[in-house]
Amino acid sequence: MHCGPSLPFLWAMNVTVGGRPRHYRTVTFDRCANTVCLIDQRLLPHRLALVRTQDFKQTAAAIREMIVRGAPAIAATAAYGLAQGSLAFRGSDWRRFARHVETVMRTLAAARPTAVDPLNAMRQVRAAMRAGRTVAEQQALAVAAAEEFANQSVSECEAIGRHGAGLIRDGMRILTHCNAGWLACVDIGTATAPLYMAQQQGRKFHVFCDETRPRAQGASLTAWELAQQGIAHQVIADSAAGHLMQRGEIDLVLVGSDRTLGRTGEVANKIGTYTKAVLAHRHGIPFYVALPLSTFDWELASGLDIPIEERDPAEVLGAWGVVAEPGSDRPLRRPGRRVYVRVANPTSGARNPGFDITPPELVTGLITPVGIFKPTDLWRCRERLGWRG
């Protein structure tokens, strides 16, 4: 079931398949077939399946339809998609090739506009391509740069784990929101990286996974990851977090980010993150954001300028799940077909913003590959955090 190369890192994530642990990356690239290979995250936790996209338009559709999701994962997917689109060009005309590459970039960047990582990743690939003197050289450089970005993303997640693990003490109860694990990255994860490192260091703790309506990434993806890793956890309704905080049952909140403004420290993340930050602030609970360097936006000056994706209202009005196979009374052990179930009143509409903005005064710290920073320190430390002017 592997698709493309998989570079082993110190503590890459494994999935138990047929009783054996097996290493997967969320996204890889097959240079010979010019295909991007993705774990289909819509099917988890009930089925692990891989999808190959045959061209850059299919790759953009996979991002848009959330076959792959999570800012670092879609960044690597966009980088590979740019390489894929570049390789598909036939001919040696420099100007036609440049126009083609711009079309590929625009298509991939438009797939999910809130996260800045895909744009940053493609800019990195495009900058590397400029060293090529021919179309063929630029195509080869695109593939190499995309692989470099993916490998660097994994290295950054490892570093986030090392810096963040010290925040986790024995017996802690930790709240997560959405999925910022290895499924949201190429490997290891951002908000989960400190958990995995702390587990390796022998600490015992308990994780509460917000279900994260409307797509339930916490209930389906984060909980699946933690179960695979053997970390104690429970899924809670999004609205239960305040109750647990009020009763002293949460000690730390760890979330990811889809875009963090380096000028202001504002954090864009999955809808509901702002609510958790307000609750944590009210109850004096540390609230940390874990993110790779590609998630920083050094250009925008206000969170109000971040494009907030409005998704299909059907996500709010119903839910996807699996039904039992005929004759089975154990649907979780023998899942059948995947179905959509309408939950809301048949004549009602819905609003479905995918993200919200958490102001810097509600963020205790940002866990990055180069250390933990206060939101107010980002601009002063911008060169350490990847700013290039």
**pLDDT grade, residue 17 (50/70/90)?**
confident
- When the pLDDT of each residue in the chain is averaged and rounded to a whole number, the result is 93
3-state SS assignment for residue 16 = strand
* 8 A C-beta contact, residue 216 and residue 276: no
Crossing angle of helices 56-64 and 71-88, in 10° steps, is 160
Q: Mark which of 159, 185, 220 sits at the end of a domain.
A: 159
Q: Does the structure show a pLDDT above 60 at 279?
A: yes
Residues 276 and 211 occupy one common structural domain: yes
| Residue 69 lies in domain | 14-159
The pLDDT tens digits for 75-96 are 999 999 999 999 999 999 999 9
- The pLDDT of residue 8 is 39
| Cα distance between residue 288 and residue 253, in whole Å | 6
- Name every residue whose Cβ is closer than 8 Å to that of residue 269 and which is 6 or more positions away in sequence: 177, 178, 255, 256, 257, 258, 289, 355, 356, 358
3-state SS assignment for residue 181 = strand
**Token code pair at residue 39:** 């774990």
238 belongs to a structural domain: yes
Where helices occur in 178-297 by DSSP H, the ranges are: 193-200, 217, 223-229, 241-246, 273-282
Catalytic residue numbers?
258
Whole-prediction pTM:
0.92
Q: What letter would DSSP give residue 48? A: -
- The pLDDT of residue 326 is 57
Rg value, the chain, Cα: 21
Tokens 């940053």 — which residue? Answer: 120
Residues 98 and 237 occupy one common structural domain: no
Residues 190 and 302 occupy one common structural domain: yes
258 belongs to a structural domain: yes
* 8 A C-beta contact, residue 44 and residue 35: no
The pLDDT tens digits for 332-380 are 555 568 899 999 999 999 999 999 999 999 999 999 999 999 999 999 9
- The pLDDT of residue 10 is 45
Highest mean pLDDT among 18-22, 56-60, 320-324, 335-339: 56-60
- The pLDDT of residue 244 is 98
Residues 210 and 288 occupy one common structural domain: yes
Cis peptide bond N-terminal to 118, omega within 30:
no
Residues 267 and 359 occupy one common structural domain: yes
Residues 45 and 186 occupy one common structural domain: no
